[in-house]
Structure 1
Amino acid sequence: MEIAGEQLRLARLAHGYSLEALGEKVGASRQYLHLLETDARTPARDLRLALCDVLGVTEDFLTTPIRSTVRPEQCHFRGHITRPASVTSQVLARGTMLDKLVAELEKYVDLPDVSFPDISASDNEGIEIAAEKARMHWGLGLDGPIVSMMRVVENAGAVVSYFGDLSERVDAFSMDRRRPILVRSSLKESLCRQRFDFAHEVGHLIMHRGVQTGDRETENQAHRFAGAFLFPRAAFLREFPRGKYIDWIALARLKLRWKVSMRAMVKRAYDLRILSAAQYRTANIHFAKTGQTKHEKYDDDSRLPVEQPELLPMTLESVNGIVHGGVVSVGHEIGLTKNTVELVSGFQLPNPPLPNDPKVVRLPRNR
């Protein structure tokens, strides 16, 4: 039986295995696995089964090419531009498989309609306006803080998850698919950073549709959008404390109210010309000297709890309760085992109800 080499590569990358590492697990050479991935060889059945076992996929997964591939302009990363190519490949592979899983889950449950406006913007004024239009599109107004960024993106139809073992070089990642997917590293458990990461990705999804991002220009545009979306210009100009010196106590109060980091507010004040270049430089020296470049004061405050995804966990729970065999059965339909479904979804699957449970019904798929 022939396999689709690209499918093997996809599963390998999703697990973060190099050709050498996978070869050690299945008893094959790096060179031979490379030939399999380039469709130059067909594996014997014992090797094919070993690959399925190690990679957590079915034989059907390896033999059936994925129907819809993810293009570079549909993927946006929030993190170091210099991240290793291996990290990028791993995240893209998991995102591709998560996209496939979500599409399969939608055959059984209804998810919110996708409602991300398409607003092209590149200059500073255009970005400020784009952020304001996005807030108004979602009924958030321009005068007060956003209660939950998680609910904003999930109500707009995006699926949010975590890849807990992402590299420190990736803060967040989004895919502009039929149903947008936002993934964040759980390594950074700060509400303010989490909200900024999500707002940054929203900026990409709104402003950069069909645009390949990752360069400094598009990253700076998404940064500007995030600041404007979380703390609109008119409200910021009204509330930011003015003076020769920065009022850190007042800034901390704004942080607790708007759920925006002090460092992000300082940058926004500089962008809006409230702070001079000298004041901005002095503020960043203060962050460095006080050890607040990555972890700020009040990041651990109980008034700033990290927001948790709701849409995907509820979807998994619903499917588990209404489909015979639960999410494991649904995952098997697209060739993923339980462990791989957990890997790409970022959540541990609940055990499905017992077969004789009266709550379990066999439902026709929603086509």
Structure 2
Amino acid sequence: MKDREQLRIFDSVGGSRTSQASPRDIANAFEGTRLTQARRLAALTKKEVAERIGVSPAAVGQYEAGATSPRPDLVPLLAEALSVPMAFFLPGRPHGKLDGAQAHFRSLRNARAYQRAKAVAFVEQVWELTYALEKRVHLPPVDLPGFAGGEVSSGEQLPPDPIEAARALRRYWGLGTGPISHLVRHLEAHGIVVAFPRQDEDSVTVDAFSTSGLPRPIIVLTPNRFDDVYRHRFTGAHELGHLVLHGDTASGDTRQEREADAFAAEFLTPRDSIIHELPTRTDFRRLSELRLTWGVSVDSLLYRCRELGLLSNSAASRAYQRLNNLRDQPGFASESVVGYPGEQPVLLAHAFELAAHEADLSVAALARELCWTVPRVRELIGLPDQRPTLRLVP
């Protein structure tokens, strides 16, 4: 009976009128999984939420499990504590529920459980935004061999070996055997959603991650890689490796991380192409030139030299020590992603611009549909903050 009542109440306040729902309406139709999502996005524990609204942690747990609903007077307090509109807790909207085991994290060494949970909730919202835009705009179809998220499947399969998989995907995408320019743009052109979260302590700690557990593959590249476009590109290729190699397996295996690294190295610098260009002795001038040509770091190129037997372990070790003294020099210093438009995602922003033009969609209307705040919609789309800046002259 409760589900039927929820649907009735949502119909009565739904569509463009969700923002007009009263606290009592929302309490009667309260969706516990939305509370869980909002709490994880806010990086709060059940105890912390409970303290802010004046109930026990057990009560918050019951709200999330759907065993009970909060009193109407608690709904505004929950919304304020979690920085969401009250309508966020209503049912009836597509919810990209994702198990944490379905997300492959670039590194788990420094990330705490709540930070990973926040990252997973972020991906859920990225998919929900994508779904809302895709109702109005035809996005590039998913063109990733072996991907079977939701009911989407390419029908193709790649070899399980990471090096062979990288070579096969290059052939499948028609990338040839030379350098790949604009890696992120290639990912988006083949239906992969790439997102940049805003920089905060949690996003820096979690590092990059990806998932095949939703109807579209999603890669999130976090800000701690933005200062170096070469590390950023390798990370993107690493996450692509997870999507094609480990889409149907649980994450957290160090072997998977090694395989994703091997995939990325072969995808960005194919052995048969790069081996004839790499120096057979430590030549930093040549490595700096190859960094620009192939779009990978000098560190990666040195590793490739050692991996392909062009440098001994001892010679490579000495080279790394010398490289540390060149970090601030031209040709070796980090270069921000900001200067490389092709390595910045535009899929969602362009989809919104097209929907705004063709379907008269506004940020405010999209925020009402998703039951998000306007700043949150702008952030996930990647739109700049258009608020004027107040400056006071003393």
Q: Same fold (TM over 0.5)?
A: yes
Counterpart of 1:5? 32
Q: 1:276 aligns with which of 286, 291, 312?
A: 312
Q: Secondary structure at the match of 1:238?
A: coil
Q: How far off its partner does 1:31 sit?
A: 4.2
1:106 corresponds to which residue? 134
**Partner residue in 2 for 1:139:** 174
Higher normalized helix content (fraction of residues)? 2
Kindly indicate whether residue 212 of structure 2 is the aligned counterpart of residue 185 of structure 1.
no
Residue 127 of structure 1 corresponds to: 162
Residue 248 of structure 2: SS of its match in structure 1? coil
Note the C-alpha offset of 1:199.
Answer: 0.4
- Quick check: 321-330 or 168-177, which moved more? 321-330
What aligned pairs does 1:128-207 form with structure 2 within 5 A after superposition?
128-142=163-177, 144-164=178-198, 165=200, 166-176=202-212, 177-189=214-226, 190-207=228-245
Residue 84 of structure 1: aligned partner: 112
What is the CA deviation profile of residues 249-305 of structure 1, one whole-angstrom value per residue up to 9, with x for unaligned ones?
110111011110011111222222222222232233334x42749x98232389963
Judge which range, 303-312 or 107-116, deviates more.
Answer: 303-312
Letter in 2 for 1:74: Q
| 8 Å contact kept, 2:204–2:223 | no
Higher mean C-alpha deviation, range 307-316 or range 37-46: 37-46
The equivalent residue for 2:79 is 52
| Paired positions, count | 343
Instruction: Give per-residue Cα distances to partners, 1:183-239, cap 9 Å, x unaligned.
Output: 111232211011111100111111112012222100010001111111111111110
Kept in 2, the 8 Å contact 1:5–1:36? The answer is: yes
CA distance 1:185–1:64, change in 2 (3 Å) = same
Q: Is the 8 A contact 1:69 1:96 kept in 2?
A: yes
> Structure 1 239/86 Cα, relative in aligned 2: closer, same or farther at 3 Å?
same
Distance in 2 separating the partners of 1:154 and 1:69? 22
**CA separation in 1, counterparts of 2:29 and 2:42?**
22
- Compute the TM-score of the two structures, normalised by the length of structure 2: 0.78
Q: How does 1:293-304 map to 2 (within 5 A)?
A: 297-300=332-335
3-state SS of 1:168 partner: helix
1:76 match: secondary structure: strand
| Partner SS state of residue 224, structure 2 | coil
Taking a change above 3 Å as real, the CA distance of residues 253 and 291 of structure 1, as seen in their structure-2 partners, is: closer
Report the alpha carbon displacement of residue 348 of structure 1 after superposing the two structures with TM.
Answer: 4.5
- Is the 2:208–2:221 Cα contact (8 Å) retained in structure 1? yes
SS in 2 for 1:167: helix
Unaligned runs of 5+ in 1: 352-367
CA separation of 1:33/1:296 partners in 2, compared to 1, >3 Å: closer, same or farther?
A: farther
The whole-number CA distance in structure 2 between the counterparts of 1:102 and 1:227 is 30
Q: Identity over the aligned pairs, expressed in percent?
A: 29
Change (3 A) 1:62 1:281: farther
| Aligned position for 1:363 | none
Partner of 2:369: 333
Residue of 16, 20, 24 corresponding to 2:43: 16
> Structure 1 segments of 4 or more deviating over 6 A?
301-304
User: Which amino acid letter does the alignment assign opposite residue 308 of structure 1?
Assistant: Q
Comparing 275-284 with 207-216, greater Cα deviation is found at 275-284
In structure 2, how many angstroms separate the alpha carbons of the residues matched to 1:104 and 1:310? 16
C-alpha distance 170-335 of structure 1, shift in aligned 2 (>3 A): same
Q: Does 1:267 align with 2:303?
A: yes
One-letter code aligned to 2:371: G
Query: Are 2:125 and 1:97 aligned?
Result: yes
* Change beyond 3 A, Cα 1:14–1:347: farther
Cα distance, 1:80–1:110 mapped onto 2, change above 3 Å = same
What secondary structure, in the 3-state scheme, does the structure 1 residue paired with 2:262 have? helix
